[in-house]
Every structure is written in C-alpha cells, then in structure tokens.
Amino acid sequence: MVLLHTSWKFNGLAGVTTLFTMIIVISGFIGRYIYTRIPRTLDGIEVTNITGQAQAAVLVRSRQMLAIWHAIHIPIGITLFSAAIIHIGAALIYATLLR
C-alpha cells in the first residue's frame, strides 16, 4: 500500500520515508523469527524454567540476538515515524489544505 501511495516516485522526504518503511518491514521479518526462538507463555512472558544445557545455550544466544535487533529496529522505526509525521504535515500544508 505504501508503494502504491508513492505513485512510484521516490524523491524528497516522501522517498526517504518509503525507504525506511521498506527497511523496517524487512527488519520486522527478521525480528519475528528471532522473537519466536524464545519460549513464551500465552501472555508473551518468557518461560524461565528451561531444562537442559543445550536449550539454555540457545535461549541465551536468542536473547542476545533479539537485544541487538531491538537496538537497531527501534531507532529505524522511530526515524520512520518521525519522517512520516513530517511528511504528513507537509502534505497537509502543501496539498490537502492548498488554496
């Protein structure tokens, strides 16, 4: 939908916003697979009573990966939201409310 909204024009802030949208979507797919490697309850709470050394090692590694992903994904997301809000404001001023 975002791509259709661009009318295949990627210049200016709108183009930057589109670029970050695509990055955040890809990042989200990656994060989704890291996230599912950590056992959780139905409420999304991590399960702590892991038994077995091998399982414990996987869990530690997954937590580390998720932390790294989170540190990258969140700034990109905030950047996207910031750019999108500015883009929407500019569109309101220069297009929607244009007289």
List residues binding another protein (CB under 8 A).
9, 11-14, 44-46, 48, 70-71, 74-79, 81-83, 86-87, 90, 93-95, 97-99
Count each helix (H run) and each strand (E run) in the chain, helices first.
3, 0
Nearest Cα to Cα of residue 17 among 80, 61, 99: 80
Question: Residue 4 or 71: which CB sits closer to another protein?
Answer: 71
Closest approach of another protein to the CB of residue 88, in Å: 11
Beta bridge partners of 40: 46
Give the torsion sign (CA, 77, 8, 29, 64).
negative
Residue 28 to residue 31: CA distance in whole angstroms: 5
- The least distance separating another protein from the CB of residue 5, rounded to whole angstroms, comes to 12
Give 55 or 89: the residue with its C-beta nearer to another protein.
89
We find the least distance from the C-beta atom of residue 54 to another protein, in angstroms, to be 22
Min dist. Cβ of residue 93 to another protein (A): 6
